Amino acid sequence: MPKRNQIADEEVKAIEEARKRTKNKNVDMRLKALLMHAAGKRHKEIAAATEFRATYISELVGKYCRNGLEAIVENHYVGNRRNMSYEEEEAILTPFKKAAEAGQIIETSAIKAAYEKAIGRSLEKDHGIIYRVLARHGWRKIMPRSKHPNKASDEAIAASKKLTSA
């Protein structure tokens, strides 16, 4: 009787081919773990070689047996989790940019309100999204500093004036 979650020889060849084609290190390590499982290694041995948890290796093998090679090779993490496109964000920021160029002070709460109106839902207390939008569009916080950080004290300046005028 064959073992549960056993990988056939034809499948091993397909995994080896996929491992040769991939350029993603994470996918390569998952495929390596599958190959080691197919070779009869114990999950603790595979965990030591791949730095995965032994329980994750069990999950990985089960996922492969249920869904095939595509479930292991595909990358599940996508970078763009934005609410709108770059152009839509730019359209929201345009009136604020004009006001900023005119010398007005722009607060993120006003930009947040316009952004929430555009996406049709509340961002609650999170201003981080707005700051990331502003950074994406090249905005930066510019404000004058009250004094130079290395400025001498008033006493040192007065003492210096007495020395040079003599």
Question: What pLDDT is recorded for position 77?
Answer: 63
160 is written with which tokens?
């210096």
Report pLDDT digits (tens) over 2-36: 466 788 888 999 999 999 999 889 899 999 999 99
Amino acid at position 81, single letter: R
- pTM, full prediction: 0.47
Question: What pLDDT is recorded for position 1?
Answer: 36
- What gap in Å lies between CA 45 and CA 62, rounded to an integer? 18
- What gap in Å lies between CA 107 and CA 124, rounded to an integer? 16
Q: Is the pLDDT confidence value at 96 over 50? A: yes
Report pLDDT digits (tens) over 34-75: 999 999 999 999 999 999 999 999 999 999 999 898 888 886
